[in-house]
Chain A
């Protein structure tokens, strides 16, 4: 697989996209990028362009679907939305993350044995 030049792991980017679409409904690429920036309070330095390969991958797996439509400003854009399969995957990925996070937490803040 081609290595991405991004600070963000490919799996996390995927999850961010999915969650965004879950909460925002259908959104075009620029919209997704802006939303991610907002939610992470600009803490992530993601090249916006790296979104598109990720979107392609998700679309190939049929987790999201795309349609051409008009944006709020009257511009023609491609809109993405979650599929039913995608909904399922979001829940799975969320669970995965929670597990990873809680495990890491246990490592990073050791229980004091007293």
Chain B
């Protein structure tokens, strides 16, 4: 117990150090005075008395020292003294401290921000039970409705309901197999007295929640019993939707929500952390059983069409299942299924069937759609961020080396005075750790802010995205570790070297040498920094140029001075017959608004992100065979469509009033269509049809319009035909084809062309629409420019971030060069003094310093240019119409770097030239 009391006393003594010191001094003084008194009484002289007393006492200082070591906790007091001293030293060179801390913060922060997103995006598992056993049949992201062979290499990953059921029966290796809608669905939902609003929906099989092992937060998830035709329609809300759209209504379970005006009962709300089977920027708000699609889509329902592939299949594998064998088995099932359907066997399809296969892929991280789209981008960012970290560490190393050299005298003096080597090293270590610690703290702020910014830039339309910018602590720790390591190595090593040198050597004259070896590591660092900086700067130029190319590509239509909005006709209960009148009304009302030149309607707008494709059969030609040979996009549009987007008709005519409901069906086609289907001869007057060879006389071509890009901004225009909204084909024998034709009559997108930008169009348009039909919801009123821009969010993000990294690297490299050059000047002060004294002009001195810096720049460029070329090769997939060997870009980047370097070198050069030679000579 004694040791406990001792420790307690020691701890309390920490707080009273000064008072206890005074008391000790007083006590010892008192002791000695008493001894002196006694000696005086014995007859000694005062001087002798004191000497005798002291001799008997022993060394007062030693006693005090040994007293102090046991009075409190010496390690603590000496460490705190080291810390205070380090703080004082750092305060006295604030520039140095600030630069190091900022460098660390930016380097570590940038990395952590990027790696946080990478981890959340690419590496996180779904918040479901046992994600490791979740597998998906299929490994790509084919989307969203297909009816034929899916890829050139035979890979199949989108399935029809019929095929899914077959897999489910044939593969007991799956404990559970669920099906989910591949594409993102959207329906208008209305609850209580609130206005109807658009929500993201997903059709899933009844065993979906069971398969994922997810329960409900309130209520219950639906099950297999809810997923058969005729079952009362139910749905499950996502927690985010319940909070944000339904006001966290506690009575939501069992309440009725109208989806597209059909009543659904809310079965339950999913748990707060559950966001579905994939990471999407707008996750699903509502899950509904597959069979309820029949209720909503009627004859058009994909779930009733055995040939329509629209589902992904994922499930839980039993332990110990051989994946290869299962893949083979499922592939065989696929092929058997295909042989039953003429679409796959006719026109030579039978030869293709043996190549068709499925692959199993892990689904624990979710269906990898977004990841595969964005994963490459993130990896590029990771690479760039790592380079920035390296740059930052190089900078810190260089700064520390410079500081260490100026400290050599300091260290030498302390050694000469008897300081223990260990104490000196410890103090330097403390200083280094303090800097790293401060830098790390600052980095926290940078990374938090950075991650949020990146997310907001990448997914500006994100709503409830299940990706949070929570800091990745392992990454922060790793980056911190790297920088602490750098700090420690580059401060302790030179200190260690200095402490082993003979103090007298150091004291004699540090600045005598005119060419010293100690600056080689620093110059190497700067050279490396310059090289890395060149790589980043040239990447910046390339990516920015690529973005500009993309954004200013000629897409074949005009987007300026155009606006667009969406209306949910089906959700508002419109039938096909009522739509005709509605379109006319809207055209008249909106067309009458001041400044509006054209009003048009379309099922899908160009570069709006969606399209509809079909197989075209030309009258009089033999059957085309496989789908890609007959594929064409198509849109149903109103007559003013082409005018409203500024696309000219180059042959024949566009749609006119004569193309009424009872007139023969017409279509206009684009030049790519003509090239594909009518390579010889005039297409005007020819006939073609869709959904089957027997409909080949469906449409007559009356005009050809100029190509424009409909979906993929990076590719060329594909074959496209337009049909008017005034004509409906009634000759389909197949109910589902007829239903598709019906649903194509709903043109939900409206395009407005105005005479000039700038006026607020939204308010008058909304007002007019409310007057026409207050129950018709209008949403996404935006300028067409922003529609265009949203196609390039990712590219813009990458370009902006690379720019940020490029600027950062330029600053870091310049600061590094500046540091080395000034340090250089400082060390050669006396040499410069000599030179000036014997007649060197100031401009000569300036030239001397700058040449030194330029030499480093030259070597840096020599290293950096091949590195940049290599980097550009790696980046080729991100570049659009920019050659990776673009020497002009490289030259521009080198120029930027050179300017930065010159600026960095000029300041110390000027300082050198303005040295007073007398003072310089006297410097030690």
Contact = CB atoms under 8 A, between A and B. Distances in A.
Main secondary structure on B side of the interface with A: helix
Contact of A73 (B9, B37, B57): B37
B6 A48 contact: no
A50 to B, nearest CB: 7
Interface stretch (B23-31, B168-176, B595-603): B23-31
A106 interface: no
B5 A50 contact: no
Interface string B62-101: 1100110111000000000000000000000000000000
B66 A77 contact: no
Most-contacted residue by chain A among B23, B31, B35, B56 (CB, 10 A): B31
A19 interface: no
B31 A30 contact: yes
Contacts of B10: 60
Contacts of B6: 57, 60-61
A65 B868 CA distance: 76
Given A47-B58, A49-B57, A76 B31 contact: no
A34 B71 CA distance: 24
Interface residues of B, number: 29
B34 A53 contact: no
B67 A61 contact: no
Interface in A59-79: 59-62, 71, 73, 75-78
B56 A60 contact: no
A52 B28 contact: yes
A56 interface: yes
Interface string B36-73: 01100000000000000000111110110011011100
Contact of A30 (B5, B24, B35, B63): B35
A62 B3 CA distance: 11
Contacts of A28: 30-31, 34
A78 B37 CA distance: 17
Given A49-B60, A73-B34, A57 B27 contact: no
B736 interface: no
Contact of B66 (A53, A61, A76): A53
A78 B28 CA distance: 10
A50 B37 contact: no
Given A48-B58, A60-B6, A2 B34 contact: no
Given A2-B69, A53-B67, A60-B9, A75 B2 contact: no
Given A49-B57, A60-B5, A75 B66 contact: no
B488 to A, nearest CB: 30
A90 interface: no
B5 A53 contact: no
Nearest to B60: A49
B245 interface: no
A87 to B, nearest CB: 15
Nearest to A73: B37
B325 to A, nearest CB: 71
B112 to A, nearest CB: 45
A33 B31 contact: yes
B67 A77 contact: no
B33 interface: yes
Contact of B56 (A5, A29, A48, A59): A48
Contacts, number: 76
Given A29-B27, A30-B34, A47 B57 contact: yes
B9 A50 contact: no
A53 B70 contact: yes
A71 B31 contact: no
B30 A76 contact: yes
Interface residues of A, number: 26
A73 B23 CA distance: 19
A2 B37 CA distance: 32
A4 interface: yes
A104 B719 CA distance: 112
A49 B62 contact: yes
A52 B34 contact: no
A83 B770 CA distance: 95
A60 B10 CA distance: 8
Contacts of A48: 31, 35, 56-58
B328 to A, nearest CB: 75
Contacts of A34: 38
Nearest to B53: A48
B891 to A, nearest CB: 69
B51 to A, nearest CB: 14
B108 to A, nearest CB: 42
A61 to B, nearest CB: 5
Interface string B84-125: 000000000000000000000000000000000000000000
A47 B56 CA distance: 6
Contacts of B63: 47, 49-50, 52-53
A53 B38 CA distance: 23
Nearest to A48: B57
B71 A52 contact: no
A57 B30 contact: no
B469 to A, nearest CB: 52
A74 to B, nearest CB: 11
Interface in B509-562: none
Contacts of B27: 29, 52, 77-78
A2 B70 contact: yes
Given A47-B58, A60-B6, A60-B9, A30 B66 contact: no
Most-contacted residue by chain B among A4, A28, A61 (CB, 10 A): A61
A73 B27 CA distance: 15
Most-contacted residue by chain B among A49, A56, A61 (CB, 10 A): A49
Contacts of A56: 67, 70-71
Contacts of B56: 47-48
A15 B335 CA distance: 98
B195 to A, nearest CB: 77
Contacts of A47: 56-59, 63
Interface string A1-38: 01011000000000000000000000011100110000
Contact of A75 (B9, B24, B34): B34
Contacts of B30: 28-30, 71, 75-78
A31 to B, nearest CB: 8
A75 to B, nearest CB: 6
Contacts of A73: 34, 37
A47 B28 CA distance: 13
Interface string A66-107: 000001010111100000000000000000000000000000
B58 A49 contact: yes
Contact of B58 (A2, A50, A57, A61): A50
Nearest to B4: A61
A98 B414 CA distance: 51
Most-contacted residue by chain B among A30, A47, A76 (CB, 10 A): A30
Contacts of B67: 52-53, 56
Nearest to A47: B58
B31 A29 contact: yes
A114 B57 CA distance: 52
Contacts of A29: 27, 30-31
Contacts of A71: 30, 34
A62 B34 contact: no
6 contacts: A5-B62, A30-B35, A49-B60, A52-B24, A56-B67, A56-B71
Give the top 10 A-B pairs by smallest Cβ distance, nearest first. A47-B58, A49-B63, A49-B58, A60-B9, A30-B34, A30-B31, A61-B2, A60-B6, A77-B30, A48-B57
Interface of A: 2, 4-5, 28-30, 33-34, 47-50, 52-53, 56-57, 59-62, 71, 73, 75-78
Interface of B: 2, 5-6, 9-10, 23-24, 26-28, 30-31, 33-35, 37-38, 56-60, 62-63, 66-67, 69-71
Given A30-B35, A59-B9, 19 more contacts: A5-B62, A28-B30, A28-B34, A29-B31, A30-B30, A33-B31, A47-B58, A47-B63, A49-B28, A49-B58, A49-B60, A52-B27, A52-B67, A53-B70, A60-B6, A60-B70, A73-B37, A76-B26, A76-B30
